[in-house]
């Protein structure tokens, strides 16, 4: 495992794969020096246990081919480290699988035919708070979540405390648990508690649904909140 770097250093990217040739291929994506305006990314290869134990690793590339649990593996990772942002490498042409991965918490979904440069660009977009997935898939996902939220028996405009509003605004800007904690000057476990309250109040069971619910029902009506970015490939 790599040693911890300070905040001004390169961004550590965990590589979760099993087959040596896949591990080598994924790690080699980061061999080139960072281009102007892009962060320097350093790969860290390890087991799931090792990667999750390294708190300085906030991004993990998951090889979906290497997991018997498929999308379930993503949920397991985020149940242990909800602040981690996942970039998934998986089968192509399966829009339903892509939607399942995004709903499970993946911030990017890439097929094996993409170029190393595309992977680097996608990860860069995730680092900036965007989601990288086919445009048509994101559109279908939003429609599905809106349809699902319409039938949830919750208050049309749930009452939020000032702190809950602060947390929700940062969630809508795609901030991680760690980033929210640093910005508000509170503990990460406190942020998780606020997120849990927001999910209960909106009838959501993950951050994607929480964000869609907040935007579609104008929970923060009258307050200007920018939508989270979405870098999408056609």
> How many residues make up the chain in this entry?
234
Residue 77 has a pLDDT of: 85
- pLDDT digit string (tens) for the chain, length 234 residues: 433 333 456 889 999 887 888 888 888 888 766 666 667 888 998 888 899 899 889 899 998 876 666 788 888 888 888 888 899 998 888 888 888 888 888 889 998 888 888 888 888 888 877 788 877 777 777 776 666 555 555 455 678 899 998 998 888 777 778 889 999 999 988 998 999 899 888 887 777 777 777 765 555 544 444 444 444 444
Overall number of domains in the chain: 2
Residue 186: CATH number of its domain? 1.10.10.10
Domain match, 132 and 17 both: yes
Q: At residue 61, what are phi and psi to the nearest 5 degrees?
A: -90, 120
Residue 1 has a pLDDT of: 44
Residue 133 has a pLDDT of: 81
d(CA 199, CA 120): 32
Query: Smallest Cα–Cα separation from 206: which of 157, 159, 150, 149?
Result: 149
**Residue 232: inside a domain:** no
d(CA 145, CA 132): 18
**Residue 3: inside a domain:** no
| Domain-ending residue, one of 139, 168, 195 | 139
Residue 34 has a pLDDT of: 63
d(CA 165, CA 161): 6
Domain match, 28 and 76 both: yes
Domain range for 92 is 11-139
Q: At residue 22, what are phi and psi to the nearest 5 degrees?
A: -70, -40
Residue 41: CATH number of its domain? 3.40.50.2300
Question: What's the predicted TM-score (pTM) here?
Answer: 0.63
């Amino acid at each position: 495992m790599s040693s911890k770097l300070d905040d001004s250093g390169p961004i550590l990217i965990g590589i979760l794969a099993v087959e040596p040739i896949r591990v080598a291929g994924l790690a080699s994506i980061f061999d080139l020096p960072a281009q102007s305006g892009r962060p320097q990314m350093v790969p860290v290869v390890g087991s799931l246990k090792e990667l999750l134990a390294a708190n300085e690793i906030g991004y993990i590339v998951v090889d979906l081919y290497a997991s018997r649990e498929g999308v379930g593996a993503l949920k397991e990772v985020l149940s242990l480290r909800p602040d981690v942002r996942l970039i998934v490498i998986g089968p192509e042409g399966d829009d339903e699988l892509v939607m399942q991965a995004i709903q499970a918490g993946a911030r990017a979904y890439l097929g094996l035919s993409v170029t190393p440069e595309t992977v680097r660009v996608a990860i860069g977009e995730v680092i900036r708070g965007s989601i990288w997935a086919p445009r048509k898939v994101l559109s279908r996902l939003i429609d599905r979540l809106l349809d699902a939220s319409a039938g949830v028996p919750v208050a049309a405009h749930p009452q939020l405390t000032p702190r809950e509003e602060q947390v929700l605004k940062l969630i809508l800007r795609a901030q991680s648990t760690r980033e929210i904690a640093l910005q508000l000057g509170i503990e990460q476990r406190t942020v998780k508690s606020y997120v849990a309250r927001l999910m209960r109040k909106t009838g959501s069971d993950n951050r994607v649904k929480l964000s869609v619910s907040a935007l579609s029902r104008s929970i923060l009506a009258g307050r200007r909140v920018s939508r989270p970015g979405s870098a999408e490939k056609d």
